[in-house]
Amino acid sequence: MDEHPNLETLYQQAQEALTTGQEERAGHILKQILQMDEDYQDAALLLADLVARQRRRWYKDTRLWVGVGVVAFLGIILLYKDTVVGILTKPQPAEDAIAYIPTITNEPTKILVQTVTPTPIDTPTPEPTAVPLYWKRLYSGAIFPRVEISTIAVDPNDPDVIYAGTFGAGIYKSLDGGISWHPTFTNLGLRDILTLAIDPRDGKTIYVGTEGTGLYKTNDGGIHWERLSASGNDLVIDQQNSKHLILADRDKLIESSNGGQSWSAVRQTSPCPAEYDKITLDPNNEDILYALSRTVCGDLDGGFGIYGSNDGGNNWVLLDQRSWSVGLLDVDTASNGDVYSLTGLKGGGDGILRSTNGGETWSWFSQVSLRGGEHGAMLISPDNPNTIFVGSVGLQISRDGGSSWEERQDGLGTTILNLIINPDNPQNMFIEGPDLNWHCPYYRSEDGGQTWEEMGKDVCGLTIDADGVIYIFGKRSWDQGRSWDQTSQAGGIILTADARESGLLYSDGFTSTNGGVTWLPSGQLDYKHDTRLFIGENIIYAFDRWRLRYSLDHGMTWRYCTDLVGWPPSTNARAAIDPTNDERVFLATRFGGVQLSINCCKSWQPKNEGLGSLFVNTVAIDPQNPDILYTGTDGGAYISFNGGDTWGEVNDGLLGALVIYSIAVDPEDPSNVYAATPYGVFKLEGR
């Protein structure tokens, strides 16, 4: 990159060192690169792989065991030489016996219907069609916001092995104490992680709780998974008996005494807490349980409460209450029984509270600056209580008991990104970041996605008309976002420009034909936070996560579509209209895959052969050939050449981060296809 002219040279030196087996030198160079640019190409991934190889124990070395086996075999021959000679000289059967050797395959995960009965999910999805395409990274995502950390876990048998569950990009793993990270457990095909816990006696037994699909368990380090519960937002494992689990499921607690194979309700006799946001268990006493709740309960004066129970969750007492507006929170217990509460306050005051007497009194323990978001996590290392992990938008680690903090982002993914191409100049692209209280960060590229610069934050819903004029509510830009003019404001906050007609804008209850200078009344749509319009030749569709509507008179009146399986995601590019027939529309959904309507959304049919049961985040269509479709899922990118009848996987080159947030196709040259992912911006290439 321009600001680091020697990065490419260092990267080439690292590659040469890896090729020639100079692992120590390669590691030193890769760390140099990451100190200068933590997202440079695949340096973080290379370092993580290098550490994994170096961590291989002597007793796992295949060459050693081959040698031991040879010695043992020779010893047996010498000891039983007469018997062995007899066997070798015994006449053989007329036909050679053929030994059956089972083939072991790591099959992709299939998400089944929700059930609280343990369900194995190693049923294979349909074999993907071979596609001669791969992704090339254009930009690493260095300036984009980091993904929200929702849960953190440390392997109790190896404190250098750390897992970070994210809300938006799946799970990441570090093998070097948090210095470098790489995606893991991608076969789950789920990006929204709520909780993650590791069996204290077996590091290969891991539990993962996800948004919308429940709790999963693996006994083999993530090769195969089974679903244990249809829902649940936080899980704790009894350190004295790892088969004993307690699962917080919003407004109730359930527990298992057999590792999740069966569950029973924890009978709560106290009216509070009304909801369980986070829970933790005293590592030395299974009856002592703590919970955080941000729900107002009883006659409490708002805020959130820290609750304690000394009978396994039957009875609770309020230990501490904060009346501030809480954005992030978590609770954890150290090996000595001290209790810590992460308090992320909207408007400041971020930090950690600690109690050394079971919650009777609390004191301010550490100040830590959090980056916002709606999800947060904290973990006191089971190996060393002075090592503390805190996650918000990105991850921070303290090695000195909270006195100082350092960021550890190398290899962690970026947050949800929406990719937008200027139809008048496809080299001009925009990234819209996540919605934070009606404000979204924006980024601009003028070289086809290779470099990006931050534009600032404004209301969400950047949109572009046929002449390349860019609109945000109350503003427009004629020069690709470098400067802005004020326009009159319509009723709705979110705007949509017609990409085929100059100056035609739609807002909630209003339409403008002159780029927002004046507005005319139209049909009231009652826009929700994430409503997006998709404009065809004669039909306009309005899709949010709960309602599907369409208009046949340019937005003057609106009608409801037929309901469909699943619901649309919150991404901008959740639908694609056939440019030759706007009654034919494809819709990305969570739980329902890709859905197709050929009659103006009066009915829907699934188009998922080859996709399995993956959550779909985005769908795009070739503007010159409507039979070519692209879709991005929580488990990778897919392409269809037959109108969605079958899909082929295209994941080569994504560096292991298989979550696809957004896909966009160049309207002038449809061979240019771009994807926004946790590892930055990629372009589809032919082999």
Phi, psi of 33 (to 5 degrees): -60, -45
Q: Could you read off the pLDDT of 480-533 as tens digits, one per residue?
A: 888 999 988 776 667 899 999 999 999 888 999 999 999 999 988 877 667 899
The closest of 626, 615, 682, 555 to 168, measured between CA atoms, is 615
Q: How many helices (H) and strands (E) does the chain have?
A: 5, 53
CA 207 from centre of chain: 16
Instruction: Report d(CA 241, CA 264) in Å as an integer.
Output: 17
Res 85 pLDDT > 50: no
Question: In terms of C-beta distances under 8 Å and separation of at least 24 residues, what long-range contacts does 424-431 make, across chains too?
Answer: 424/464, 424/466, 424/467, 424/468, 425/468, 425/480, 426/666, 426/667, 426/668, 426/669, 426/672, 428/468, 428/480, 429/664, 429/674, 430/455, 430/462, 430/464, 430/470, 430/481, 431/144, 431/676, 431/681
Topology classification of domain 562-687: Methylamine Dehydrogenase; Chain H (2.130.10)
Contacts of 239 (CB under 8 A, 6+ apart): 200, 281, 283, 284
pLDDT band (50, 70, 90) for residue 655: very high
Q: What proportion of the chain, given as a percentage, has pLDDT over 70?
A: 83
Res 621 pLDDT > 80: yes
Instruction: Report d(CA 219, CA 192) in Å as an integer.
Output: 21
Instruction: Report d(CA 181, CA 164) in Å as an integer.
Output: 9
3-state helix, strand, coil in the chain (%, to 5): 10, 35, 55
Res 102 pLDDT > 50: no
**Beta carbons within 10 angstroms of residue 58's beta carbon:** 6
Lowest mean pLDDT among 5-19, 148-162, 672-686: 5-19
Q: Give, in order, the Cα–Cα distances in Å from 118 to each of 68, 122, 226, 233, 261.
A: 41, 13, 6, 17, 6
**Beta carbons within 10 angstroms of residue 453's beta carbon:** 11
**The predicted structure's pLDDT at residue 10:** 87
The closest of 313, 296, 315 to 304, measured between CA atoms, is 296
pLDDT band (50, 70, 90) for residue 537: very high
Residue, of 52 and 131, whose pLDDT is higher:
131
**What order do you get walking across the sheet with 429-432 strand by strand?**
418-421, 429-432, 439-445, 453-459
**The predicted structure's pLDDT at residue 570:** 86
105 SS3 class? coil
| Mean per-residue pLDDT of the chain | 84
Lowest mean pLDDT among 223-237, 294-308, 365-379, 444-458: 294-308
**The predicted structure's pLDDT at residue 53:** 64
This model's pTM is above 0.85? no
What sign has the CA pseudo-torsion 26, 31, 37, 42? positive
30 SS3 class? helix
3-state secondary structure 458-516: EECCCEECCCCCEEECCEEECCCCCCCEECCCCCCCCCEECCCCCCCEEECCEEECCCC
pLDDT band (50, 70, 90) for residue 329: confident
Range with the largest mean pLDDT of 70-74, 392-396, 422-426: 422-426
Res 2 pLDDT > 60: no
Cβ atoms 298, 319 nearer than 8 A: no
pLDDT band (50, 70, 90) for residue 44: confident
Calculate mean pLDDT across residues 6-29.
Answer: 82
Question: In the structure encoding, which two tokens stand for residue 429, read together?
Answer: 């692209």
Res 208 pLDDT > 80: yes
Res 355 pLDDT > 60: yes
Range with the largest mean pLDDT of 61-70, 359-368, 418-427: 418-427
Q: Give, in order, the Cα–Cα distances in Å from 179 to each of 66, 182, 197, 584.
A: 34, 11, 21, 48
Q: Could you read off the pLDDT of 146-203 as tens digits, one per residue?
A: 999 999 999 988 999 999 999 999 999 999 999 889 999 998 999 999 999 999 999 9
Where is 444: in which H helix or E strand?
strand 439-445
The DSSP secondary-structure symbol of 242 reads T
pLDDT band (50, 70, 90) for residue 98: very low
Where is 264: in which H helix or E strand?
strand 264-265
User: Which amino acid makes up residue 205?
Assistant: T
Res 114 pLDDT > 70: no
**The predicted structure's pLDDT at residue 681:** 97
Instruction: Report d(CA 636, CA 642) in Å as an integer.
Output: 19
Cβ atoms 368, 390 nearer than 8 A: yes
Q: What proportion of the chain, given as a percentage, has pLDDT over 90?
A: 59
Cβ atoms 244, 238 nearer than 8 A: yes
Burial bucket for residue 437 (CB in 10 Å: 0-12, 13-18, 19+): exposed
CA 92 from centre of chain: 59
pLDDT band (50, 70, 90) for residue 18: confident
**The predicted structure's pLDDT at residue 529:** 64
Question: In the structure encoding, which two tokens stand for residue 567, read together?
Answer: 């619901």
Instruction: Report d(CA 307, CA 291) in Å as an integer.
Output: 5
Range with the largest mean pLDDT of 59-68, 72-81, 115-124, 253-262: 253-262
Residue, of 88 and 495, whose pLDDT is higher:
495
**The predicted structure's pLDDT at residue 531:** 87
Q: CATH assignment of 153-407?
A: 2.130.10.10
Burial bucket for residue 299 (CB in 10 Å: 0-12, 13-18, 19+): exposed
Lowest mean pLDDT among 215-219, 330-334, 572-576, 582-586: 330-334
**The predicted structure's pLDDT at residue 303:** 61
Instruction: Report d(CA 595, CA 606) in Å as an integer.
Output: 5
**The predicted structure's pLDDT at residue 166:** 96
pLDDT band (50, 70, 90) for residue 609: very high
Where is 203: in which H helix or E strand?
strand 202-210
Calculate mean pLDDT across residues 263-279.
Answer: 91
**The predicted structure's pLDDT at residue 304:** 78
**The predicted structure's pLDDT at residue 34:** 75
The closest of 152, 146, 182, 186 to 170, measured between CA atoms, is 186
Res 121 pLDDT > 60: no
The DSSP secondary-structure symbol of 59 reads G
Calculate mean pLDDT across residues 665-680.
Answer: 96
The closest of 186, 150, 96 to 393, measured between CA atoms, is 150
Res 370 pLDDT > 50: yes
Question: In the structure encoding, which two tokens stand for residue 178, read together?
Answer: 């948090």
> Could you give the maximum distance between any two Cα atoms of the chain, in Å?
103
Where is 588: in which H helix or E strand?
strand 585-589
Instruction: Report d(CA 587, CA 22) in Å as an integer.
Output: 50
What sign has the CA pseudo-torsion 65, 68, 74, 75? negative
Contacts of 683 (CB under 8 A, 6+ apart): 135, 136, 138, 448, 449, 672, 673, 674, 675
pLDDT band (50, 70, 90) for residue 111: very low
Res 324 pLDDT > 60: no
**The predicted structure's pLDDT at residue 130:** 61
**Beta carbons within 10 angstroms of residue 546's beta carbon:** 10
